Every structure is written in structure tokens, then in C-alpha cells.
Amino acid sequence: MRIFFPILCVLLLISAPTKASEELLDIKKVTSPSGINAWLVEDHKLPIISIQFSFKGAGSVNLTEDKQGLSQLLSNTLDEGAGEYSSQEFQKKLSDKSISLSFNSGRDNFGGTLKFLAREKKSAVELLNLALNEPRFDKEPVQRMVDANINRIKSSQGNPNWINARLYNDRAYEGHPYAFNSGGTIISLQNITPQDLKDFKNSHLTKDRLVIGASGDITAEDLGVLIDTIFGSLPDTTPPSKIKQLTLQNLGKTYVYKRDIPQSIITIGLDSIDELHPDYYTLQILNHIFGASGFGSRLMSEAREKRGLTYGIYSSTTNNEYLDALTISTSTQNETVAEMLQIIKDEMKKIKTDDLTQDIKKAKDYIIGSLPLSFTNNDSIASILLSLQLRNRDINYLNQYHEKIMTVSAEDVSRLAEELLTPEKMITIITGTPKNLENTLLITEVPNVE
Amino acid sequence: MKFLLLPLTVLILLVTPFSAYAKTFNAQSTTLENGLRLIVIPNSRAPVVTHMIWYKVGAADEPPTKSGMAHYFEHLMFKGTETLSPGEFSRIVKGLGGNDNAFTGQDYTAYYQNIAKQHLEKMMSMEADRMINLKISEEDFISEKNVVTEERRQRTDNKPKSLFMEQMRDALFTNHPYGTPVIGWMNEIESYNWEAVKGFYDTWYAPNNAVVIISGDVTMEDVKPMAMRTYGALEPKDLPQRKRGKIPPAISETKITLFDETIKQPSYQSLRLAPSSHQSKQESLALQILNEILSGGPTTRLYKNLVVDNKRATSVNFSYQSSALDHGKIFVSAIPHEGISLDEIENDIQNEFNHVIKNGVTETEVKEAIQRLQDSAIFARDSVSGPANIIGFNLLTGSTLNDIENWPTDIATVTPAQVQDVAKKYLNAEAPYIKPPVKGYLFPTNTKEASKTDKKGAIQ
């Protein structure tokens, strides 16, 4: 589950362009006195500041099999006691001051968010500074967070969507660190020591990887000072990583994990292109028309609106550091899985030959028109600023994006569909008891869970 | 959509009022001549609006044997009118760069669009259109029924824990519609016919049964003329009374147990009745403070005592749902630490309750809780769609606009004595409120043999 929907959301946010003539988002580039960069949208309507930051490349992809979940556990324990404060003292301080501080660990990046009321700026800065520079990793809270993660894993085992996502990662990314369970396994989590957490933090949370987006009630000057106080004493650099690029594995295969449930969960993966590829903008349009737009997309129209086969079907693009993919996800009762798979293949064919002029116009209208919907709150704006920088985009990207989207033609979309939507080169993962399927491979256990 | 947002479990966990309320939205309110209520929440952060229409009808208003119909009907609202083809509503919204969806609860059904502000009147006119001109083909009626059965499988039938929660609610709300799942029972979903569904629409969908809420870069001055041109043209209807059964007092405890192979760790949960804000405002405020003191974060009582200090549980949660036209409720859940049985953790939690009942809570705890809740109201303003949802959700469950706007001031009136009083009244194991709580025990299949000696095998 986790792997699909968050990615989809991020894409919706960052794929929204603007009209060049309208200054919808006034992004400032801020350089702190010590030379750390951040992007800021200043807005003083509410006494709220939202800061999102990320250490690019510091995600779970760096971990070995026996330490799966280490970066996840780091994200859970950095705020569990630091400096003079024990875990409970630290959390009490956050709570008394209504400061939201949390860390997150993705496959590629390790990040955090800090949100606070202007009146609590001093405490917010102090606490994040301590969390990043002097975390304690005391035995009790580390064990408590291991227990909480084990709870989460055991609880997820009752969720067939989670199982299917786990299996997809395992088979589609086979042989690559992406195939591991970024949330850890029940055994690996228990192997992680406070020293492991310290080592990972010191070697990966470094200034050369730091990216920052901020929005709200703060001036550029104050933000610069704040950044230096929080991040200024982190180590400068990380040694380069040796991780290899990946293309999807096991293409052409359909796997089934049998589970006695009335509805099967289906995830399909296809190879795709990266964000710097000239066809990237064409991909946004193609994906929108094919399945990303929900109601009105070709997959949703055919599978749900016309035939009532599912509550939802979506396509989404994944652009990770080492992998680019297009995924399709849906669920349908066991009796109609074969029909659903056929519809998906048929829609792949149709989109290559149909006249797409109208679809493309609508897609452009939506992509361009929906831009300001993401600019309505500080969290969302800070998150867009972070995303753009993580993807190495120019500060004027949103303005340029509009033009790039507008130049996409029907021929471009058909050509890219021909290239990417290849039914014979899909990996398909199904959890459930699908009926009438041929040539499937049975999976009997879910790896990297226990 | 669409989404049956808020099946009750989610509601309890995510839409508790504590994080959601706000100090003051400065909302403007008026009522059109035909009875439609119009509320505007100005917010100039971006040139966009959230346009919502909330109908005062929900799953709890369905006729017998038609469970889930309010939600199913919500799906049909996207299936075309005299002038719009099936799905066209959403396609138009998308073409204008907007998003739309809808959701159904026990007490309300709501539809919304997020869109650039220049398209607001178009949205209003389309909503006004489908309030009276819905036109559904036989084919769409049937295919959408399949969509809803798939939705039910996805949300509930595929997940033993969701089925379990459904049973717990059913057991708690004896003789009251809140015990019926919003999405409906599968066999009743399959049996809907168009006459009944049409009757539901004709009865409840009317301007005098609707609240329109617009949040964003507009003012009442901009919006009211548009509302009059669109919604203002609709005729009001005579509305029936909303009749719900009364929960009879009961003397025996209900315990539900499930063994399932996909459950990997034992867990305990309980569900009990409590007054909603609509039923008893001041008690509800005190319960909100009690909730915050017991389970407002990692340093509050339940987590600190049971998870951090004494290692009795690896997770524990208490949540009071205050927003409902009829009863509110309290959901408690815990996963015991290794070596601790479900009976033991159940006792530990009751001991925490008893401690409050006997000794009360401190001045400081109450003060801190008030501060956190008041701050959450400031954060709630940092959104366009959020305030519209908060106001709609609370208005439609019986609060007044003043209640919502003044919540941060009202919550500050709660005293430690009031908190102790509501604990005595609603968490007392010796003298339960209306009926004893429903208790649920989930076990992995492989613990079945071991638990035979355990005393908690009873099915309700």
C-alpha cells in the first residue's frame, strides 16, 4: 500500500504547472550565513511555520539485508530523547509547545518535518537541533520503537494490500536493495543496536545532501539563522554510494499469492523513463489519460464506470533514484480477475491507436488548471519546494512546466504509449484466490516480513 | 465516489474533534428564502475554493432492509441528470482543473469540489441541477451496485479486523441505526431497487435540507448572489422527521472473540456509549479534555504508564467521538506486551480509569490539555478544505456555528472536577452508562488451543 499512494500524491503535487504570466507562488532562494540553501515561500497570514527537509540519498537503499528497517527505526528514535532530555522529557516539551516534529525514511531519502507556531520558534529550533546533533538512542525508547514497528508489521499482515505491495517489491526489484523491506523485518529490527543508529546518522545525515523547503510566517533572514542553528554542525559530506541502477525484474510473469479473501489485489509494473528524459512531460499526459486521473481516466471508465468491476483502478509513475516504473493497481472480486487483466491489456492497445486529441486537451486543462489547488496551506507548499529541489528542478520550474506540457502532441503520446504500455512486458502480482488464470507462478511465502 | 469516507472506525481514529476544531474561522452565514443554509469561510491564501454541499440525511435515516442506501445513492449522484451524461459531472470539474468527490456518514451525505474560484458558480449550478434532476439508466443502476459491492469487499470483507469492528458496533447500538455499517450489509446492497432509491432522493434531497459551505478566496458578498441564482431557484419540500430508535438499557456484558490466521498478535478493544456534543455539550467538552489527558500523546497517562513505564502494552489508544446527532462513543484498544494476557491489559486500562474516577486529574493536566487543543485550532485554519469539513461535520451532527467558532473558549471552561465527573459517569465498570461496553478479543488462530482454558470465549 505504502508504496503507491504516497507516490501518486507527490506526483499530483509536483506535476502541477503554472501559467507563466501568473505569479502564484513567490519562491525565494535563501542562503544561510554559513552557506546552506533553502527555498522559502513567505506568508504572514497565520502565525505558523512549516519546514520540510531531506537528506538526499540517505534512505533505506543503503541498507543490507540483515539491517533492514534501520533507517525507519532511526526516523522513529531521533525524537526519543536528545541532549539533556530523556525520551519523555523531549516528547513532553514538543507536546507542551504544540511543536510537530517527525522524521521519515523513504527508499532514497531520509527526511523530516518541523511545524510550529511563531511564538515557539526558539523551542522548535532547539529541539530539532538536539534531535539531529545529539540524539541519545537510550535503550528503553529504542526497544519501545522496535516493538511498535513489530506491531505495525504484524498488523499489516492482516491487510492484503500491504502483502501485495511487499510481494511486488520483492519480485519486481529482485536482486536490488529496493527489494528489501524498508520498514524492517521482525528479526532484522531486533538486530539493530543504538550504535547502528548512531553510525547511520553520522555517515548519512550530512550537509552535502541536505535540501530544505519552508513556508509561512518567517522572513528569509530569520530562516537563514534558523537553518544554521539546526543544521550548521552536521558533518559536511558522505562518501559516494555504489548502488546500481535497476530495471524491473521478472517482466512477463504473473505471480499469485493465495489468500482466502473474496477480492483479489492486483499490482502491475512496467518499465518507464526518468525525469530528465525529453518524454517526461509526455509521460505526465499519457499517465493522466490512461489511469492517473481517477474518474474519467481510461482504466477507470472501462473497469469501473462501464462494467462495475472495481471500486478503483489507478496508474502511477514511480521515479526513484535507481528505478523508473509505471504501475497499475486495482482490486476486483476473484471471479473477475481474468476479465480485469484483459481490460487492462485492451486499454493499452486502444490508447495506442485511438485519436487522443480530445483526451490530451482535457489532460492539459486539468494539469494546468489544478495548479493552485496545491498552494492552499503551508505544509503542502513546503512539500512542493522540497520535491522540486530533490528532483534537481530549477526555481522557475513551475513556470516552465506549463510550456513543456503545452507542447506535448498527440503523436508524442501515441509514440510513448507504444514504447511503454507493453502487455507482454509486465510483472503482475496478485493476492487473493483469482479464478480462471493461466500461466501463473505461485508464491507461497511473503519474504522479509518475519 | 465515490468514497464512503468515514466508516466509523476510521472516524474514531482520524476525525476526533480534538485535532480538527479551530478557534475562529470567521465564517459568515445566511439562509436563502427556500431554506438553504449558506456558509462562507473567507481565506485568501490561494485563488481557489472548496465548495461543499451537505445534506441532512445519512445512513441512519435509511428505511429498514435498505442498509447502505444513502451511500449507494451518493454514488448515483455522479451518474447523470437530465442534461449531464453519466460521469460528465466529474469530467467537467476535471476539465476546469478541479477535483471532486463525496462521502457519506450516519448523519450526513456530502459532495464537494476543490477548484479555481472563477468556476464557483458553475459548481453551484451543477450541484443545484443534481439536487432535483437526477436521471439514472437501468444499466448504470446495476453496474454501480457492483462497484459498491466491490467497495464493501475492499473496505470490509477482505479484512477480518474490519469485519470484527463492524460486529462490535452492531453489538453496541442495539435498536439504533448506528449499529448498521454505513456501506450496508452485502445482502441488502444486492437487493436495492430503483423505486426505493428514487423515494429516498425525492424525500431528502431538497434545498431546505442542505447546507452549502464555501471556503476560500471569496466573501459572502461575492457568493450570495451566485447562490441565489443557482440554489435559490429550487423549491423547498416538506421534510419528514428523522426518527431513530432508542438504545435500551442492558445488564449483561457483550464479549466478541475472533481467531483468524491473518491475525498475528492478540489485541483488545472495547466500545462504549458516551454522550455526543449534541446530547450534552459541557459533558462532551469534559470528555474531550479527559481524552487528551488519557491519550493525547506519548507523555499522557495511558501510553506513559502502560507502554513506557510498566511495559504492559506495546500500544494503547483511547478515543472519544463527540460528533454525532445521537450517541457519541468511546473506543479503546491495546496490544499487550509479550507475556501479558488480554485480560490483564483490560484490567490495567480499567485501573487507569478507576484512578481518575477515585483521584481525579490535576490542574496542570487540564491546563496543558486546554493549551494543546487551543493550539490545534490555530493549525486547523491553515487549510482551505479543512475548515469547510470541520464546520460541515459539526453542524450536521447538531452543533451550532457558534459552538464551532467558540470551541477554543468553551474548552477552556472545563474544570478538573468536571473531568472526574465524566470519568465516574462514563468509565465506571461498576455502573455502566446505559449498558456495559462491548469488548472484543482478537487472537491468532494458533493460540486457539491455548485459550480454551481462558475465560473469554463467549460469542455475543
Task: Please name which of A27, A38, A88, A439 lies closest in space to residue A222, comparing C-alpha atoms.
Answer: A38
Half-sphere exposure of B89 (CA within 13 A, CB side): 30
Between vectors from CA A412 to CA A406 and to CA A413, what angle results, nearest 5°? 90
Contact flag A158-B260 (C-beta cutoff 8 Å)? yes
pLDDT in tens, B277-325: 999 999 999 999 999 999 999 999 999 999 999 999 999 999 999 999 9
Q: Does residue A392 sit in helix, strand or coil?
A: coil
Chain B contact present for A221, CB below 8 A? no
pLDDT confidence tier of residue A240, bands split at 50, 70 and 90? confident
The distance from CA A158 to its chain's CA centroid, rounded to whole angstroms, is 23
Give CA–CA dist A313/A290, Å, rounded: 10
DSSP state of B457: -
State the nearest Cα–Cα gap between A235 and chain B, in angstroms: 31
Give B371's contacts in chain A (Cβ within 8 Å): 96, 98
pLDDT value of position B272: 98
Is it the case that residue B20 has pLDDT exceeding 80?
no
Query: Whats the size of chain B, residue-wise?
Result: 460
Name the grid cell of B13: 481514529
End-to-end alpha-carbon separation of chain A, Å?
18
Q: Does residue B329 sit in helix, strand or coil?
A: strand
CA distances for A35 relative to A93, A170, A207, A296, B453, angstroms: 30, 41, 10, 47, 67
Query: Whats the size of chain A, residue-wise?
Result: 450
pLDDT in tens, B194-235: 999 999 999 999 999 999 999 999 999 999 999 999 999 999
Give B96's contacts in chain A (Cβ within 8 Å): 365, 369
Nearest to A151 among B98, B335, B378 (CB): B335
Catalytic annotation, residues of B: 74
The distance from CA A446 to its chain's CA centroid, rounded to whole angstroms, is 22
State the nearest Cα–Cα gap between A240 and chain B, in angstroms: 38
Q: β-strands B109-116, B37-42: how paired?
A: unpaired
Residues 6 or more apart whose CB falls under 8 angstroms from that of B199 comprise none
pLDDT in tens, B234-253: 999 999 999 999 999 999 99
Name the grid cell of B234: 429550487
Looking at residues A292-320, what average pLDDT do you find?
95
Beta-bridged to residue B329, according to DSSP, are B273, B321
Lowest mean pLDDT among A14-18, B88-92, B446-450, B452-456: A14-18
CA dihedral defined by A39, A43, A48, A52, rounded to 10 degrees? Answer: -20
Contact flag A92-B299 (C-beta cutoff 8 Å)? yes
DSSP assignment of B219-268: -HHHHHHHHHHHGGGSPP-PPPP---PPPPP--S-EEEEEEETT--S-EE
Looking at residues B106-111, what average pLDDT do you find?
98
Is it the case that residue A282 has pLDDT exceeding 60?
yes
pLDDT value of position B449: 54
Query: Which residue of B lies nearest to A163 if distances are taken between CA atoms?
Result: B262
Mutual angle of helices A280-287 and A357-369, in 10-degree steps:
100
Q: Largest alpha-carbon pair distance within chain A?
A: 66
Q: Does residue A30 sit in helix, strand or coil?
A: strand
pLDDT in tens, B349-370: 999 999 999 999 999 999 999 9
Cβ atoms A133, A103 nearer than 8 A: no
Judged by phi (left if over 0) then psi (alpha if -120 to 50, else beta), residue A435 lies in beta
Chain A, 322-381: which have a CB under 8 Å from a chain B CB?
331-333, 362, 365-366, 368-373, 375-379
The overall average pLDDT reported for chain A is 93
Q: Is the pTM of this model over 0.90?
A: yes
pLDDT value of position B5: 35
pLDDT confidence tier of residue B35, bands split at 50, 70 and 90? very high
| Numbers of helices and strands, H then E, in chain B | 18, 11
pLDDT in tens, A390-427: 999 999 998 888 899 999 999 999 999 999 999 999 99
Query: Which residue of A lies nearest to B263 if distances are taken between CA atoms?
Result: A158
Cβ atoms A90, A82 nearer than 8 A: yes
pLDDT value of position B448: 64
Q: Element (H or E) spanning B216, and its range?
A: strand B210-216
ipTM over cut 0.90? yes
DSSP assignment of B374-386: HHHHHHHTS-SHH
Give A88's contacts in chain B (Cβ within 8 Å): 298-299, 304, 308
Looking at residues A31-54, what average pLDDT do you find?
97
Judged by phi (left if over 0) then psi (alpha if -120 to 50, else beta), residue A45 lies in alpha
